[in-house]
Amino acid sequence: MGDLMKGKRGLVMGVANDRSIAWGIAKALADQGAELAFSYQGEAFGKRVEPLAQSLGSDFLMDVDVLNDESLDAAFAQIESRWGGLDFLVHAVAFSDKNELTGRFINTTRDNFKNSLTISCYSLIDLARRAQPLMTNGGSIITLTYAGSNRVTPFYNVMGVAKAALESSVRYLANDLGPDGIRVNAISPGPMKTLAGAAIGGARKTYRHTEANAPLRANATLEAIGGTAVWLCSDWGACTTGEIVLVDGGYHVLGMPQSDNL
Ligand code: NAD
């Protein structure tokens, strides 16, 4: 326990279960004294998120689908009436049709392209616009991305394009919101064993490959991603915005696998 986040209140979006990256982030922020609200997508996830939120002392839960404007309007109205402001927002939301996260990128359909980019990228822009008026003392917005945005990764396909758009959005939002003291950054972990991660073809092989070859010979942990989020959401991150922070055991510096694995 520390108090880096004491007095700060934030919304965490994207906890599906206790393996979710958003859950690792929520725990780390709460450990540093943050007060949290959670959003979940639909009743089934709500039942899983409720006890997790309670374990961090939060009873502030909202059902939000980022495709549904009414649910977004209601959530931000609730934050305004209950808290009157917001210090940080964690966006850990992504989706693509599982059937297109295997096989060839060239077969991406228009419908799934639109849906993947709307949920995984446009939602950040939408949420930032809604959060801005509540962040009257400045604030921090973080999202989650993956290195498949700028390097081809097996079966990441249209999610790579969605993450490239998301990373670019981080830079444009950082510039728009900078004058208001609002920072916008992305954390880019290596592969993690989550529901969303498992939807990508060959996920287990990718996980083992990065573990065997990353300079640290390890994948990221929820604790390390959480710690990075604390840095970015706390005053210690005061001068960092528009950044994509890699938390991947150093995998991104490699030009080739380790010699034993060639
Ligand atoms: P997860 O399945 O635990 O979380 C994904 C979340 O997105 C779920 O809570 C789901 O309910 C939510 N979501 C999807 N569509 C939504 C919608 N329409 N409205 C509201 N919420 C919606 O998986 P995760 O791996 O923790 O994913 C969190 C973020 O981390 C994603 O942006 C993902 O792309 C990113 N990421 C994951 C990995 C990995 O290997 N798992 C690596 C790098 C980045």
Question: Mind spelling out the 3-state secondary structure of 125-180?
Answer: HHHHHHHHHHCECEEEEEEECCHHHCCCCCCCHHHHHHHHHHHHHHHHHHHHHHHH
The predicted model scores a pTM of: 0.98
How do residues 117-149 score in pLDDT, each as one tens digit? 999 999 999 999 999 999 999 999 999 999 999
The pLDDT score that the predictor gives to residue 1 is 83
Task: Show which residues are catalytic.
Answer: 146, 156
**Contact, 22 vs 94, CB < 8 A?**
no
State yes or no: pLDDT of 191 exceeds 90: yes
| Angle, CA 190 vertex, CA 181 and CA 27 arms, to 5° | 60
**Ligand 1, CB within 6 Å, residue ranges:** 14-16, 20-22, 41, 45, 64-67, 92-95, 119, 144-146, 189, 191-192, 194-197
